[in-house]
């Protein structure tokens, strides 16, 4: 039996309850992992509230690090005792141990701790694909301006550092002056406190009236309209989250009116649909983390049993960087 977080209905943080469940043996293509640390992500909130559907009762969580305890038939890239890390698979990382598909499970290099691994995988692979696997029509080059919302968050601080490494001029927005300072300390070339400033006007100023090549928008409803006004002609709007609520419907004619812009809605889960792609992206991430070029800021740690508080803080915009759940 292992302690695991379960939801029997969707709703507020209180629907997450700790229960004892048998963990079982891995079937074909699966592994059993004993967790050492677990990542908390905003996407977990979407599953908890029901914005993203799941079959109930359900586990929760899509990121973790630990040790392989058992390997099912057909799994060739992992063996018992491997230190591993993963993002994706089925919901259920909020647990002491679990069985899951091996497809997105990768070996964790010795230079990276379990805690860092658990914090970096889902958010870091997201930064990897945003910067490297969804380029704008004219390509993304050193010196280009890009705009990123929630720049002091989990994905945000990784994006700030990685964008700087690529020579991009990242303009980061955040909800307080302290968060803006943190984003700048992590590589944002410019920051805007979007609680007090008109960010579209400030982006125009910073870019000399031209606008940015790409907007990375995970805030959704509250930032959508102004974000579109930040793009230069043929620019790319990458919508990848809805922290403030879903994006309202729009018509193709709007894309013409804003300067023949492109819009895409991306999800990590398409990018990590194959073992080869997952491994290549993970290798890229592990290399920038192991070298120290991208540091993973774990600003919040909670024991597994305190997961409700971890969600409350995340939703109340009280967090910066990454949040992990620890296992005593
Ligand atoms: N599509 C994908 O592949 C993918 C993968 C991973 C993450 N994501 C998305 O990327 C975003 C960041 O994820 P994360 O786990 O790193 O979370 P996070 O950025 O650490 O936390 C969310 C941040 O969003 C900002 N925010 C703005 N309006 C908000 C509102 N009404 N309620 C709550 N937060 C609000 C807050 O920062 P400020 O206070 O600075 O505004 C908050 O700290 C999330 O939207 C997530 O769903 C998407």
Measured from the Cα of 40, ligand 1's closest atom is: 15
Q: Of the residues 265, 280, 309, which one is the last residue of a structural domain?
A: 265
Q: Is the distance from CB of 268 to CB of 87 less than 8 angstroms?
A: yes
Q: Three-state SS for 78?
A: coil
Q: What is the pLDDT of residue 89?
A: 85
Ligand 1 lined by 218 (C-beta under 6 Å): yes
Ligand 1 lined by 317 (C-beta under 6 Å): yes
Q: 173 and 241 in one domain?
A: yes
Q: Is residue 249, in this structure, part of any structural domain at all?
A: yes
Domain count, the chain: 2
Q: 185 and 101 in one domain?
A: no
Low-confidence stretches of the chain (pLDDT < 50) are none
Q: 254 and 190 in one domain?
A: yes
Record the tokens describing residue 204, joined without a space: 């125009």
d(CA 95, CA 61): 9
Q: Is residue 114, in this structure, part of any structural domain at all?
A: yes
Q: Is residue 130, in this structure, part of any structural domain at all?
A: no
Q: Is residue 247, in this structure, part of any structural domain at all?
A: yes
Ligand 1 pocket: which of 219, 237, 238, 318 to mutate (most atoms <8 Å of CB)?
219
- Expressed in percent and rounded to 5, the helix, strand and coil fractions of the chain are 30, 30, 40
| Cα(302) to centroid(ligand 1), Å | 19
Record the tokens describing residue 17, joined without a space: 């309850």
d(CA 11, CA 41): 16
d(CA 99, CA 325): 18
Q: 160 and 96 in one domain?
A: no
d(CA 99, CA 29): 10
Instruction: Tell me, yes or no, if the pTM score tops 0.75.
Output: yes
Ligand 1 pocket: which of 127, 153, 263 to mutate (most atoms <8 Å of CB)?
153
Q: 187 and 288 in one domain?
A: no
Q: 188 and 249 in one domain?
A: yes
Q: Of the residues 218, 237, 265, which one is the last residue of a structural domain?
A: 265
Q: 107 and 37 in one domain?
A: yes
Domain boundaries, position 225: 135-265
Q: 70 and 34 in one domain?
A: yes
Ligand 1 lined by 220 (C-beta under 6 Å): no
Q: Is residue 140, in this structure, part of any structural domain at all?
A: yes
Q: Can you give the CATH number for the domain in which 158 is found?
A: 3.40.50.720
Q: 185 and 147 in one domain?
A: yes
Q: 218 and 288 in one domain?
A: no
Q: Is residue 283, in this structure, part of any structural domain at all?
A: yes
Measured from the Cα of 179, ligand 1's closest atom is: 40
Q: Can you give the CATH number for the domain in which 28 is found?
A: 3.90.180.10
Q: 320 and 228 in one domain?
A: no
Please list the residues that pair with 3 across neighbouring strands.
20
Q: Is residue 163, in this structure, part of any structural domain at all?
A: yes
| First CA to last CA distance, the chain | 16
DSSP class of residue 229 equals T
Measured from the Cα of 320, ligand 1's closest atom is: 20
Count the alpha carbons within 13 Å of 118 in the hemisphere toward its beta carbon. 27
Measured from the Cα of 122, ligand 1's closest atom is: 6
Residue nearest to atom 12 of ligand 1 (CA): 155
Q: 185 and 103 in one domain?
A: no
193-211 pLDDT, tens digit per residue, is: 999 999 999 999 999 999 9
Q: Of the residues 265, 295, 311, which one is the last residue of a structural domain?
A: 265
Ligand 1 lined by 101 (C-beta under 6 Å): no
Count the alpha carbons within 13 Å of 200 in the hemisphere toward its beta carbon. 12
Cα four-point dihedral sign 37, 162, 184, 234:
negative
Q: What is the pLDDT of residue 328?
A: 77
Phi and psi, residue 119, nearest 5°: -80, -30
Measured from the Cα of 42, ligand 1's closest atom is: 15
């Amino acid at each position: 039996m292992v302690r695991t977080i379960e939801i029997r209905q969707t709703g507020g943080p209180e629907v997450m309850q700790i229960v004892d469940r048998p963990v079982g043996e891995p079937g074909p293509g699966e592994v059993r992992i004993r967790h050492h640390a677990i990542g908390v992500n905003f996407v977990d909130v979407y599953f908890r509230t029901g914005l993203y559907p799941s079959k109930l009762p359900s586990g929760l969580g899509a990121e973790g690090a630990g040790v392989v305890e058992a390997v099912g038939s057909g799994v060739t890239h992992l063996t018992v005792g491997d230190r591993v890390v993963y993002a994706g698979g089925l919901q259920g990382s909020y647990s002491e141990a679990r069985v899951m598909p091996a497809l997105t499970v990768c070996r964790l290099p010795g230079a990276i701790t379990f805690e860092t691994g658990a914090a970096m995988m889902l958010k870091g692979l997201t930064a990897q694909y945003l910067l490297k696997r969804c380029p704008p029509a004219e390509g993304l080059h050193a010196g280009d301006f890009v705009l990123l919302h929630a720049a002091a968050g989990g994905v945000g601080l990784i994006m700030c550092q990685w964008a700087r490494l690529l020579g991009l001029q990242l303009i980061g927005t955040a909800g307080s002056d302290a968060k803006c300072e943190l984003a700048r300390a992590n590589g944002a070339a410019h920051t805007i406190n979007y609680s007090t400033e008109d960010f579209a006007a400030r982006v125009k100023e910073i870019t000399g009236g031209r606008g940015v090549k790409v907007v990375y928008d995970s805030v959704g409803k509250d930032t959508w309209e102004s974000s579109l006004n930040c793009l230069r002609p043929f620019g790319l709007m990458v919508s990848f989250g809805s922290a403030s609520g879903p994006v309202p419907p729009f018509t193709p004619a709007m894309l013409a009116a804003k300067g023949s812009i492109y819009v895409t809605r991306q999800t990590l889960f398409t990018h990590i649909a194959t073992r080869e792609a997952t491994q290549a992206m993970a290798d890229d991430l592990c290399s920038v983390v192991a070298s120290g070029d991208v540091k993973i800021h774990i600003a919040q740690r909670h024991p597994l049993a305190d997961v409700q508080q971890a969600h409350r803080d995340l939703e109340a915009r009280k967090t910066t960087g990454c949040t992990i759940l620890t296992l005593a």
